């Protein structure tokens, strides 16, 4: 009897274990079928952001993928993002981790010593605080106003001296690079820095087998990836060493014009700081500043002008607003920007359709958690599909159309508080430098529209504008945007007022006679 009793208990226990395992499996979010070993990797194709968007439409806004050895969660709707990151959900911290085994990211972040790639913890919190309080505060961003205005004016002069079409993709990158170099280093470094940062961006965005099969890291030695990463990293590191050495010259005077390296070196020497920055961490933070400040700013500029040239009524409307505010002046200043209401709507709409990093920087869950009806295991890589969120039909009417007017009388903004529009991310890992990028974007677009009329090259129609994207951590237009520019004639300010005064003077003269 005892034997049968224990046998029955054993069978019940075994059945419960099987059922529990099945239940746990069923509680994962839905996803597409997968192959042995490679899982769903074969379904990503050459354009992962498009494939992920298509798969999410089929399987839901919380979708589970097995990418090689990496369990992956894709978030692709405002509601799904809200379930994780809305205040009180308790999941923001859990979803604030970073993968620690991304080959290129680990190298360029100086072994995860950067704000973007550091694991969630005390070091990351202190570095982020330095960024928010010391490097990217409103006061600090405002202190760089002269740099922005000078570089935008210089670019306007350069365009004015060019005949025919101009490559706006190239010029946008050059402008952003010049501004960020002066803000971070105190001077421009030209092509030397532009080339190495472009290669860094490419390497960070490339598909690497070792990022999905960690035991295959040896493959990077044979496919040329390791050599490319080492070459690019060494060039970047040498440039940082030169910059830091220049800033340590005893006779150097910063006065009130501290650049970002000055600030970081000052904090390094300050014993009252909560964190004692070493040179590796300073270099990691500088890489963050350049990737976010240069590539993402240039990307936003390119997509704004791409959408405006494809939508002439919007171009005419925003240009009329800019010229009204300029009132005959050839230069728009930062003090004018709050008056450019329609321009702000244009920028929001471009960010909705073309977030600079549409798949965001991957996150990783730090522990098991339950979101809605699904169980998300610890160490699950998490991708937030920012483009799908920005085109969620539940929140956006005709979501794929460029219609800046949709933001008229709307409080929706891109500061991370409105889950239907998250071009700069959300939660603790949201981009802390969006205010720096947006001011430069506004100033550049306003001055380009004030000084020039823009059109497509001869023989090219709106339908011919190529919208294909270049794969990378930042999403650029694959084909450079080349437009014809025509300098606008200088107008007389307050022309209506001058006419009134002229009529008054004539009437007075008649009365005197």
Q: What is the 3-state secondary structure (H, E, C) of 217-259?
A: CCHHHHCCHHHHHHHHHHHHHHHHHHHHHHHCCCCCCCCCCCC
Task: Tell me the domains of the chain and their CATH numbers.
Answer: 22-512 (1.10.630.10)
| Tens of each residue's pLDDT in the chain, 513 residues | 443 433 343 444 444 444 444 444 559 999 999 999 999 999 998 888 899 999 999 999 999 999 999 999 999 999 999 999 987 667 999 999 999 999 999 999 999 999 999 999 999 999 999 999 888 888 999 999 999 999 999 999 999 998 889 999 999 999 999 999 999 998 887 777 778 888 898 899 888 999 999 999 999 999 999 999 999 999 999 999 999 999 998 877 665 578 999 999 999 988 877 678 899 999 999 999 988 888 899 999 999 999 999 999 999 999 999 999 999 998 999 999 999 999 999 999 999 999 999 998 999 999 999 998 999 999 999 999 999 999 999 999 999 999 999 999 999 999 888 999 999 999 899 888 888 899 999 999 999 999 999 999 988 899 999 999 987 788 899 999 999 999 987 665 554 433 434 443 444 444 333
Closest CA to 175 of 149, 152, 159, 141: 152
Q: pLDDT value at position 52?
A: 94
Look up residue 87 and give its DSSP letter.
T
Cα(508)–Cα(506) distance, integer angstroms: 5
Q: pLDDT value at position 505?
A: 40
Cα(513)–Cα(504) distance, integer angstroms: 14
Q: pLDDT value at position 382?
A: 97
Residues 414, 420, 425, 427, Cα dihedral to 10°: 100
Cβ–Cβ contacts within 10 Å for residue 205, how many? 18
In order, the DSSP letters of 166-206 are: EEHHHHHHHHHHHHHHHHHHSS--THHHHHHHHHHHHHHHS
């Amino acid at each position: 009897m005892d034997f049968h009793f224990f046998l029955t208990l054993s069978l019940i226990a075994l059945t419960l274990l099987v059922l529990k395992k099945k239940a746990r499996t069923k509680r994962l979010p839905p996803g597409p079928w997968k192959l042995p070993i490679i899982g769903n990797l074969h379904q990503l194709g050459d354009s992962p952001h498009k494939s992920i968007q298509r798969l999410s439409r089929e399987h839901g806004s919380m979708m589970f993928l097995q990418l090689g050895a990496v369990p992956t969660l894709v978030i692709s709707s405002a509601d799904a993002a809200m379930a994780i990151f809305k205040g009180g959900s308790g999941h923001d911290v859990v979803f604030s981790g970073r993968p620690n085994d991304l080959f290129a990211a680990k190298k360029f972040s100086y072994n995860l010593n950067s704000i973007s790639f550091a694991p969630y913890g005390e070091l990351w919190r202190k570095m982020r605080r330095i960024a928010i309080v010391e490097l990217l505060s409103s006061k600090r961003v405002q202190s760089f106003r002269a740099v922005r205005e000078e570089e935008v004016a210089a670019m306007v002069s350069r365009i004015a001296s060019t005949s025919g079409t101009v490559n706006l993709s190239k010029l946008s990158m050059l402008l952003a690079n010049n501004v960020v170099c002066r803000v971070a280093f105190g001077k421009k470094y030209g092509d030397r820095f532009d080339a190495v940062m472009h290669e860094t961006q490419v390497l960070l965005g490339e598909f690497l087998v070792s990022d999905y099969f960690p035991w295959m890291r040896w493959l990077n030695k044979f496919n040329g990836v390791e050599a490319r990463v080492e070459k690019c990293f060494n060039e970047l590191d040498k440039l940082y060493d030169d910059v830091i050495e220049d800033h340590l010259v005893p006779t150097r005077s910063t006065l009130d014009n501290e650049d970002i390296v000055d600030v970081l070196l000052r904090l390094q020497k300050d014993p009252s700081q909560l964190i004692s920055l070493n040179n590796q961490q300073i270099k990691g933070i500088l890489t963050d500043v350049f990737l976010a400040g240069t590539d993402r700013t240039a990307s936003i500029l390119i997509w704004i002008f791409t959408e405006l040239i494809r939508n002439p009524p919007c171009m005419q409307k925003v240009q009329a607003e800019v010229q009204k505010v300029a009132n005959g002046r050839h230069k728009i200043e930062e003090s004018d920007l709050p008056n450019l209401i329609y321009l702000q709507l244009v920028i929001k709409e471009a960010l909705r359709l073309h977030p600079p990093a549409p798949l965001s920087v991957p996150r990783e869950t730090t522990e098991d958690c339950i979101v809605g009806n699904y169980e998300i295991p610890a160490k699950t890589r998490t991708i937030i599909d920012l483009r799908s969120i920005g085109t969620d039909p539940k929140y956006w009417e005709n979501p794929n159309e460029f219609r800046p007017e949709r933001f008229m009388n709307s409080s929706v903004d891109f500061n991370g508080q409105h889950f239907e529009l998250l071009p700069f991310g959300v939660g603790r890992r949201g981009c802390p430098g969006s205010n720096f990028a947006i001011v430069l974007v506004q100033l550049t677009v306003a001055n380009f529209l004030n000084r020039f009329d823009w059109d497509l090259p001869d023989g090219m129609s709106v339908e011919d504008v190529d919208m294909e994207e270049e794969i990378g951590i930042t999403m650029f237009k694959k084909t450079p945007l080349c437009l014809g520019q025509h300098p606008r004639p200088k107008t007389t300010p307050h022309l209506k007022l001058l006419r009134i005064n002229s009529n008054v003077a004539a009437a007075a003269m008649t009365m005197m006679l």
